[in-house]
Structures are given as structure tokens and as C-alpha cells.
Structure 1
Amino acid sequence: MSRSAESRTVVDLADLPFGQGGHLLVQRALAGLAPGGQLAVTGRDPALLVHLSAWCRGRGHQVRPWEGPHSPDGAVVVRGPAGHDRWAGAVRAGGPSPRGIVERPDPGWGLAARGALVEEGAPAVGFDLAERDLVWAEIAPSLYAHAAAAQWDPAAAVPWDAAFELPPDVEAAVVQVMTYLVENEQAALVLPARLLARVHPHFREVVQLLAVQAADEARHLEVFTRRALLRTGRMGTSSAGGRASLATLLAEPDFALASFLLSVLGEGSFLNLLSFLDRHAPDPVTRAVVRLAHQDEARHVAFGVAHLEHQSSVDPGLRGRLRGAVERRHDVLRDTAGLNQDVLDSLVLLAAGGWEPTAIGRGHRAVRDLLAAMDEGRQRRLVRLGFPADEAAELSALHTRNFM
């Protein structure tokens, strides 16, 4: 690159064809010029002027003939306005910086990276969750960072080789509870996996968080299944009522309502259940898997609550829709048996630690306290979402007896 007699920058491509890398030299030289600056381009490629002109048109630059005596083979490029140095008519996806988040991303942005310079003309991609207030929570970026750092390896984090021996009936109780957890975690995996495919990638932290949530549930499925099969090689029972309850979660298409039913009510109640199992685990493997699952589920609940708090602040009608979702689900499940009796009995036995009448009574009271703690937690989260205390109590009482 040199300076001409007329003090304009010159790029001589020599024998390099414009379409075989010459454009990179021109692009580099233009990047150093202010809008309106002139760049003389010379070279011996017969098609230089044709290719140069077409390339400049697409980027908002002008091409003029080289005027004056002893004009070489080439042309003068006048740099276009700022913001048109890549494509004419291009726009920044989400503003001038990668963190710029808009309320409604353009459908034509598709899979473009947020903050990228986006060329117009691509077909729109169908993401129906494409409004900030439908999916966003300010806590999403920090929650994703925490989730990415807190991933654990099932093979290394759980002491699978720990030595322990349980009475057959206690082992059977553990197997039954693990079977129940697997069934519920399968629903908790499918739901965020479905939702993340609908979220516009402009809201990438939400997509990433839902993807990690699905990965969390996949790990939970692995460790709960492995613990169930660890000693007997058999799973427990699955009730029709339990599966009916989970089916209503998968049938909810609305992002906010699905997040509410799964994360705020269901997984929120599961936090209490996992803490209960941690306290009453009869062996180190069971204790490890429920403790690891609890730390993941706490993030899921935190995002669900934060998202719905944000949405309720901008949508006065949201709480009415949330109430309607609880009532509809209750009506659908009114005639089902609810929690698998085998699961309930297993929880009593694990809390009892033995078959003496006083121990069984203690275990029964512990399960009763668990149900009360679940109810109190649901009410507390409902109040955070703006429900009056009496309405929160009423809605919590309508929550499915299957916990999730």
C-alpha cells in the first residue's frame, strides 16, 4: 500500500485476481479510511474493475475512474458511510454491542449472533417466543455462568463403590423413590428441551440456561436410575395417576405457564423432597445423588421465579393466567389417585429407619412435615409473584398431590 501523487492511498494488487484474495487487501485498506476517503486500486487482472465495482456496490462504497494523466489500470474507491463498511443496508442485531438486547428481535436476524452486523435478505426463522418480556430475567446471564461452572460428572461425583448393606425392605424403598424421581425428571427434561427450541436466539442466555437445565435433568436421570439398579437390578412401580399428572405439564404450550407449573410449583416442591431424602438417606450413594440434584434444581427454581417476577411486573394479567393454569390442572386431575402409594409408604419407611410402631409413627410425622414444608414453600413463592397470602394458600392447596 502506498501514496499516489494526488495524496490518495494506493493498493496495487499486481497479478492477484480480485476474487482470489485481492478483496482482502482492498477491505483492509478501506478500514483505515474515514467515510469519504479515497483508495486507488490497481492491478493487472483483466476482470479487476468488474469485480471491484460489484463488491463495492454491496458494501456502500462508490467506484470512480482514475482520472488524470498517466492513469494506471484500476479505479478509485470512495469509502461509504460508517456502518456500511460490510453490507449496504445491514443492521446491528441488538444494537452496537453484543450485550444490547432489544424488545422484539427482527425475524430476519434468525441465528445471527447478537451484536453482529446482519445483512438483509435472509428468510425469517420461526421462533414464536420472540419477545423479551416473554422469556427474559435479569438473573439469566449470572445463573447460566453459575450453571456452567457447577456441572458435575456422575461417574466422579457419586461414590458408587461405597461399601454399604441395607435391609431388603429399605433397599426396596430406595428403589421405589428413585423410580419415582426418574419418572418426574423425564418430564422435567422434556419440557425445557421443548421450550428452548422456541426461544429466539437473540436471548441467548435464556436458551443456554434452558439447555443446561435439560443437561442437568439428563444427569439426574442417569444417577437416579443407576442408584435404583445398584443392588437389585430392578425398578419400582409407576402409577397411572403420577403419569397423568406429568402429562398435564407436557400439555401446557405457554412458556410462562409451563415454567410456573414446572419450576415454581413442581420443582420448588421437589427441593423439599430432595432435602428430606438427604436427611433420611440410608446410604452414602443415595445421599450423594439427591444432594447433587438439589443444587441443580435450586437454579431451575430461581430462574422460573425471576422470569415470572419480571413478566408479572409488565403484564398485569399474568397472575390471572397463572391462577387459571393451576385450576385447570386441578380439575383435570381431580379424579386421579395422585402420589403413588408405594412412594408415600417408602418415604415413611426411610424416615422411620425401622419397623417398630414408634419408628413408623415418627416416619409418618416426618412425611406430614414434608408436605407442610412443600405447601409453605409454594405459598412463599406465590407471594413473591404478587399473589395475596390468602390466594397463595388457596392455589398451593390445589397443586397436584404428585408433588411435581
Structure 2
Amino acid sequence: MTNKDASSSPLIDIESVGFDAGAHVFVKHALAALEPGQRLRVVGCAPGFEVQLQDWCRRQGYALEWAIEPGPLNGTRRVASIARDTQWGRWRDAMQTGRSDPRGANAVAEHARPDWGLAARGAHVEAGSPAYAFRLASKHEVWADNVADLYKQAVAAQWDPDDAIDWHVPFDNPPAVEAAVVQVMTYMVENENAALVVPARFLGQLHPHYRELQAALAIQVADEARHVEVFTRRIRHNGYEPSLSTAGGQASLKTLLDEPDFSIASFLLSVLGEGTFVTLLQFLQNHGPDPLTRRIAQLAARDEARHVALGMSHLLYRLEREPVLRMRLAQAIEHRHEALAATSGLNEEVFDALILIAAGEPTLSAITRGYALVQQLMTDMADGRYARLVRLGFERPLARELAWLHTRNFM
């Protein structure tokens, strides 16, 4: 089908194949093989060929010219000549996503343009594509250097509740202790609902250019959904129903959902709240009264530790570029503490339930031991918050003060 004369532009003959039968693919392929500035000559004998070719070139943005050239058997023929520009067809004036980063076409841009839309990073976006209003469209607002690694770790660490947990393991808790487990699991469910909704809310505001973070947040949402499932199954394991949810606890969680800033929300939820929850889950793993509760706490703690790592990595990234953010983070803790000062804080039933869980039985000596363990838990939680705040660059006296200012509701 192809004939190339060294003294002229390349020539292709599409013969009797019409543009309604795939001829355009052959023409497009031949054009792509040319160097910018070259022209492609096209002949054919399909009915309506000239009109079809002219219409196709117009829609694709190609410059088309016609010429009369010598033809077979000493005759003449009408030949189309199509220019191969530097940007051709639908690639004309297309924007390459990620070009602002000098490391290459697939590098992450500092700012993602609205008219990049949903395109894959590194793709060319055809001119005239619609703009999307993604609120989180700047790298410094959302990024973490190790976000891709954290996502890979999360994928590798996924677990199936039916396979990872032995739901038939035998145990027989005293009724008071089993009721305490139900109360704590009820409390855990509502907190995990908050930990699910917050990243899910920001997912819809995040520019898809930052796809590694998008994937990490999506799997975090999946983690929390799984936690809600297993905590709920533990509640109902012995025929119980969920227990009490307090106004103070709900008010505390609402402040997380109301926070509009991604970094501050990550700080309050992941670094402080979920960081504290890791300590709580480890407490349940060590002191839970039955193997089922201990196994659930162990698996959930692993997931929550990854969520904390993502929040810490993002904040370290942003604080390196925007140190003034540290003051806003401190103010966020203080304002939240003031807003919740009139609430009861931690559900009293949850605090007492933790004592009974650590005690293992409702006897005076056991409860005394459980109370001491829960007091140590509170200290361990504050120490964990303090260590993370210091790592984020807070001065030690301020870090200690802020660690103890954190809401009494843990999350």
C-alpha cells in the first residue's frame, strides 16, 4: 500500500477503503511516523474519499492541500497533502501534565491545573478540555515524600476479617466484663466512623494528579470501614447490641469533620487522635479479657499505625516548606480544647469499661489493678502525643502542654 519517492513526500494509497471502514487509522499511523515539517501524500478510490478525508483533517486539526500529480497509465490524479506539524491532530496545543517539575514528564507538579482534569499524570490534555474545581491542587498542601511507599505497605497489609480472625475461638467472660467490651467497641465504632468520613471528604477535593495520596487515602477509608465491621461483629458476638454514645463524644468528633484545612484535619485526626488510638488498641491487645478482642485490637492497631505514619509524613513535608504552619497547629489544639471545655469529654462508661476490661473480673482487687493500668494508659497516650509533637518540631515545653490539652475523648 505504501510507495515512497526520495524526491517527494511519502505517499500512501488507501485504495478502496473508506474512512467509515478504518482508513483514518492507516492515515493517522502514517502521519505519526513522519518528522515535524514533513507532509504525507494520500490517494484513494473509495466513494466519497475526498470529502471524508477533508472532514477528518478538519476535525483533527490538520492542514490539508490538494494537488494534481501524474497518475498511472500516463494519466493524472488528485492527491491530498497533509502537513505533520510539531503538534498535530488533537495533540495541537495539548497540555502535558507534570511538565512544571524538572525531573520529567511523570514527576509530580507543584500545582495541578484545573484543566488537567482527570487525566493521567504525564498525559497530554487536549485543548478545550473542561476545568475541574479541585480545591486541593497544590503539592505542598497534601504531599508526603514517602506516600507511594506507605500505599504499597497498606496494600500488602490488607486482611480479610473472616480469614484473619478466628470468630469461633472459645471464651467465657463474666457478664460485667463482656458488657464492658461492648461499651468500648461501641465507642470505637463511632470514632472509626469519624476516621472514615474525614479522609473520604478530602478525597473528593483532591486533584487526581496527586494519585499516590489519593490511593493512600482511599485505602485508609477501606481500613476504617473494615474496623467498623469487626468492632460491630465483636459487639454482637454474644448477642449484645451497641451501648451508649454520649453528647460529649459526638461533639468532639464533630470538630474533626468540621475542620476545612487538610493539614490541620490530618494533624488532629491522624497524628493526635489515631496516634492515641494506637496506644488504646495496644492496651486492648495486652489486657483484653479474651483472645477475640485481643486479635481484633492487634490487627486494627497495625492499620492505625500506618494512618499515623501518613499524617506525620505529610506534616513533616509541609512544615519543612511552611514553618509558620506549626503555630496554626498549636492554635487548632487550643481552640478545640476551648470549644469542648463545657462537654463531659470521655464517656464515663468507656473509662469504667476500660477498668473492667483490664481487671478481667468485677472484684475489688482486680478493679484496683485495672484502675492503675488505665491511669498508666492515660499517661502513655499523653507521652505518645508529646513524642509526635516533638518530632514535628514543637519546643518541648509547648509539646508537653499541648499533649495534655488534647481532648479527653482521646480522638
Q: Which TM-score band (shorter chain)? A: over 0.9
Which residue number in structure 2 is paired with residue 395 of structure 1? 402
Q: Which residue of 2 aligns with 1:42?
A: 43
CA distance in 2, matches of 1:116, 1:141: 20
The CA deviation string for residues 214-261 of structure 1, in whole angstroms up to 9 with x for no partner, is 111000000000001100332121111111111111111111111110
Kept after mapping to 2: 8 A contact 1:48/1:74: no
User: Counterparts of 1:100-249 in structure 2 under 5 Å?
Assistant: 100-249=107-256
For the residues of structure 2 that align with 1:179 and 1:211, how far apart are their CA atoms? Answer: 24
Report if aligned partners of 2:68, 2:79 keep a CA contact under 8 Å in 1.
no
Aligned match for 1:297, one of 300, 304, 312: 304
In structure 2, C-alpha distance between the alignment counterparts of 1:261 and 1:397, rounded to whole Å: 14
Alpha-carbon distance between aligned partners in 1 of 2:345 and 2:239, rounded to the nearest angstrom: 27
1:90 aligns with 2:91: no
- Give CA-to-partner distance per residue, 1:176-226, whole Å, 9 cap, x none: 111110010011111111011000111011111111111110000000000
Q: How many angstroms does 1:19 deviate by?
A: 4.3
The aligned amino acid for 1:78 is A
Q: Bigger CA drift: 39-48 or 110-119?
A: 39-48
Task: Tell me, in whole angstroms, the C-alpha distance in 2 between the residues paired with 1:110 and 1:386.
Answer: 36
1:347 counterpart = 2:354: yes
Report the CA distance between 1:66 and its aligned residue: 3.7
Residue identity in the other structure for 1:134: E
Instruction: Tell me the residue number matched to 1:78.
Output: 83
Q: 1:378 aligns with which of 373, 385, 409?
A: 385
Q: Deviations over 1:320-365 (max 9, x none)?
A: 1111111111111001111111111111111122333332222111
Comparing 242-251 with 31-40, greater Cα deviation is found at 31-40
Larger mean CA deviation between 146-155 and 293-302 belongs to: 146-155
Structural RMSD (CA): 1.8
d(CA) in 1 for partners of 2:34, 2:160: 52
Identity of aligned residues (%): 50
Task: Report the count of equivalent residues.
Answer: 403
Equivalences for 1:245-394 in 2 at 5 Å? 245-394=252-401
**CA, structure 1 residues 98+181, in 2 after alignment: closer, same or farther (shift >3 Å)?**
farther
Deviation at 1:86, TM superposition (A): 4.2
In the alignment, residue 180 of structure 2 is paired with which amino acid? A
Between 324-333 and 267-276, the greater mean CA deviation after superposition: 324-333
Aligned position for 2:26: 25
Q: Could you list the runs of 5+ residues in structure 2 that have no partner in the other structure? A: none
Which stretch shifts more, 271-280 or 306-315? 306-315
Tell me by how many angstroms 1:102 deviates: 0.8
Letter in 2 for 1:334: A
Higher mean alpha-carbon deviation, 70-79 vs 165-174, is at 70-79
Give me the TM-score of the superposition, normalised by structure 1.
Answer: 0.95
C-alpha separation in 2, matches of 1:75 and 1:45? 14
> Residue 56 of structure 1 contacts residue 63 of structure 1 at CA under 8 Å; is this kept in 2?
yes
Report SS of the residue matched to 2:65: strand
**Contact 1:112/1:118 (<8 A) preserved:** yes
Return closer, same or farther for 1:68/1:12 CA change in 2, 3 Å cut-off.
closer
Structure 1, 124-133 or 282-291: larger mean CA deviation: 282-291
In structure 2, distance between residues paired with 1:140 and 1:134: 14
2:32 and 2:314 map into 1 onto residues whose CA distance is 42
The one-letter code matched in structure 2 to 1:380 is: A
Q: Equivalents in 2 of 1:228, 1:202: separation in Å?
A: 41
Instruction: Pick closer, same or farther for the CA change 1:98–1:186 going to 2, 3 Å.
Output: farther
Contact 1:58 1:88 in 2 (8 A): no
Structure 2 residue matching 1:120: 3-state secondary structure: coil
Q: Give secondary structure in 2 for the equivalent of 1:72.
A: strand
Matches of 1:376 and 1:225 in 2, distance apart? Answer: 30
Q: What SS does the corresponding residue of 1:201 show, helix, strand or coil?
A: coil
CA contact (8 A) 1:30 1:39 kept: yes
CA deviations 1:273-319 (Å, max 9, x no partner) are 00000001222211121111111111110010110111111113201
Q: Spell out, residue by residue over 1:146-190, the C-alpha distance to the aligned partner (whole angstroms, 9 max, x if none).
A: 112221111221111112221111111111111110010011111
8 Å contact 2:136–2:206 — kept in the other structure?
A: yes
Conservation of the 8 A alpha-carbon contact between 1:49 and 1:74: no
1:342–1:119 CA distance, 2 compared to 1 (3 A): same
> Aligned partners of 1:273, 1:314: CA distance in 2, in Å?
33
Q: Quick one: which amino acid aligns to residue 364 of structure 2?
A: P
Partner SS, residue 18 of structure 1: coil
Q: Secondary structure at the match of 1:41?
A: strand
Please say which of residues 175-184 and 162-171 is displaced more in the overlay: 162-171
User: What is the CA distance between 1:60 and its match in structure 2?
Assistant: 5.8
Structure 1 residue matching 2:42: 3-state secondary structure: strand
Task: Supply the distance in 2 between the matched residues of 1:147 and 1:57 (Cα, whole angstroms).
Answer: 49
Cα distance in 1 between the residues matched to 2:82 and 2:330: 64
Give the AA of the match of 2:288.
A
